Amino acid sequence: MNQVARLQQDPTTGRFLPNNCLASANAYYNDPDTLQAAIDDYFDTCEANKYPPRVTGMALHIGFTGRVSLFDYLHRPGRSPYANIIKRAKSKIEDIRLGDMLTNKNNVIAGIFDLKNNFGYIDKQVNESNVKVQQVAAPEDVAALKALALRMIEQQEDDALLIEGDVSHD
């Protein structure tokens, strides 16, 4: 069925919505069953066409302008019956994506990108430090450095004595 023919423009908001969905200031859908039917139709369409479901595809199919507007709708106050339907649909897509990655049906890099951007996955980096302190100089070099340091200290002391000896007492 043609996607465009299934949408109607809401005169109030200007948004394109599935037929039989009345938009209001608070919702695209006035009935959770209508939203569930639209989501079920999306999954059926994907299965019939052997096409993997996607969050953006679902958002467009059910009448949103994209995944961001779907997420905004999901987090809008007072949307709990709708939010649960959308969360279940997203979880279904997430499960399919993970299954495809584990069975090598999907490009792993694309799957990781999708999981990060649509499902909140993050890379966790653990920085462990196994630093071992090692002696940089050979023992004979250390002895030479100590001797040099002692000579420099002695030289400073000698210079201090000379300066004190030059002070005249009037």
pTM: 0.55
**pLDDT over 90 at 44, yes or no:** yes
> CA-CA distance, 25 to 79, in Å (whole number)?
12
Between β-strands 16-18 and 7-9, what pairing exists: parallel, antiparallel or unpaired? antiparallel
Of 60 and 105, the one with more pLDDT: 60
Residue ranges of domains in the chain, CATH in brackets: 4-119 (1.10.132.80)
Of 79 and 102, the one with more pLDDT: 102
**pLDDT over 70 at 149, yes or no:** yes
Place of tokens 């007072």: 78
Check: CB of residue 82 under 8 Å from CB of residue 38: no
50-97: per-residue pLDDT in tens? 888 999 899 999 988 888 888 888 877 776 788 889 999 999 999 998
> CA-CA distance, 127 to 114, in Å (whole number)?
25
3-state secondary structure (DSSP) of residue 135: coil
